[in-house]
Structure 1
């Protein structure tokens, strides 16, 4: 006596389609969960980095009597930086001052009048750099000036929020030179009032993004433009100079 096995019933297409949809939904939910967690972690790390950055800036202080330096470099971005650098120079801090990144249309005469500095100070001890287009350009322009004069200790005058990136770029361009920070402060970052100031908050966030990208670039060894006006135009870089035209 033989026993015949009944053939299996065919799986209905509707059931197969439903199972596939359920699997896709599970994968989608799992992927969405991973993306959400990753985004939350990334935002948390960025926030921690930002507040660590602001804490670092808040701790920067301009000493009343800077240590002995060879010269001063002021990175343009506001006359307050230049005023401070000129005041230090007139007090006998350093032998010379480089004002880096000045617009080519701004003459030495106009700059002196705008700052109210003594003519004798400009005549003897101030060099104006017209080549730098950005912070990398400031560093490269300063490096050329340092090599020309054989300096080894430089006082850097710029805004406090700009100082970390400036020191990093300057050290990259001139690794054998000691750079000393002399920050110009606009906002007191030790209080929380700056968090309610949209201009200060936006400035700090933009600078933190630039600083983070600069660190990533240096870590990766990526090449970048020199930031010099002459290189951008395919011309020979012009040395920092005095101009009274």
Structure 2
């Protein structure tokens, strides 16, 4: 009787061990597959943003600049001055920064800013930029917009803004950041910035997959 009990225990223990090994192998396979998918997706993301170029002669009803760097604002103001559009929104400006401060920094004319530049102070992130931009577009009844932001920030910005406004046409105008392999090797922080932006982009895209609104 004791031998039968011991045999049953050994059998149960053997089954449990096999199940544990199967579970661990399955989890390991899922983790390796997920990691490979993440790395592969990141490489495609990097290749896409690193190869982005601004259009040669863009034309639209309006221009929107998402703040986050002086080059973005300067490029947006230059496009406006060249006649690429009739009005410019600079979204997400620090409340302490006035339109006159920006005018002085960009060395623009007072007339240009008084007639054609709007300063948005409400947005504090890219989702806020999208909301602020959408309200401005609707208020002016614009149909086409040149979107100015850094190349690595462009995919997420477009995803957020197109999600908020699926009626307007958005023309990406990426401000080129140096993203070559040699630049990343010289400044490893670039890799962290790219990885962070890729994760945020995936989170934005996942809202549509899962139906989560925010």
Q: TM-score, normalised by structure 1?
A: 0.82
CA contact (8 A) 1:194 1:201 kept: no
Match of 1:84 among 75, 82, 87: 75
Superposed, 1:159-198 pairs within 5 Å as 159-188=150-179, 191-196=180-185, 197-198=187-188
1:36 corresponds to 2:25: no
Separation of aligned partners in 2, 1:33 and 1:194: 39
Correspondences of 1:1-245 after superposition (within 5 Å): 9-11=1-3, 13-66=5-58, 68-188=59-179, 191-196=180-185, 197-224=187-214
Check conservation: 1:89, 1:95, Cα contact below 8 A. Answer: yes
Secondary structure in 2 matching 1:151 = coil
| Separation in 2, partners of 1:223, 1:213 | 11
Conservation of the 8 A alpha-carbon contact between 2:52 and 2:176: no
Question: SS in structure 1 opposite 2:3?
Answer: coil
Q: Which runs of 5+ in 2 are unaligned?
A: none
3-state SS of paired residue (2:146): strand
Shift of 1:193: 2.1
Deviation at 1:15, TM superposition (A): 4.2
Cα deviations by residue, 1:92-131 (Å, 9 ceiling, x for unpaired)? 1100110001111212222222333222221111100111
In 1, the alpha carbon distance for the partners of 2:106 and 2:208 equals: 36
Assess, with a 3 A threshold, how the Cα gap between structure 1 residues 78 and 26 changes in structure 2: closer, same or farther.
Answer: same
Q: Is the 8 A contact 1:86 1:97 kept in 2?
A: yes
2:106, 2:26 → 1: CA distance? 56
Matched residue of 1:117: which SS? coil
In structure 2, distance between residues paired with 1:144 and 1:59:
31
Computing the radius of gyration from Cα coordinates, the structure with the larger value is: 1
Judging changes above 3 Å, is the alpha-carbon distance between structure 1 residues 37 and 195 closer, same or farther for their aligned structure 2 residues?
Answer: farther
In structure 2, C-alpha distance between the alignment counterparts of 1:169 and 1:127, rounded to whole Å: 21
How many residue pairs were aligned?
A: 213
Query: Which structure has the highest helix share of the two?
Result: 2
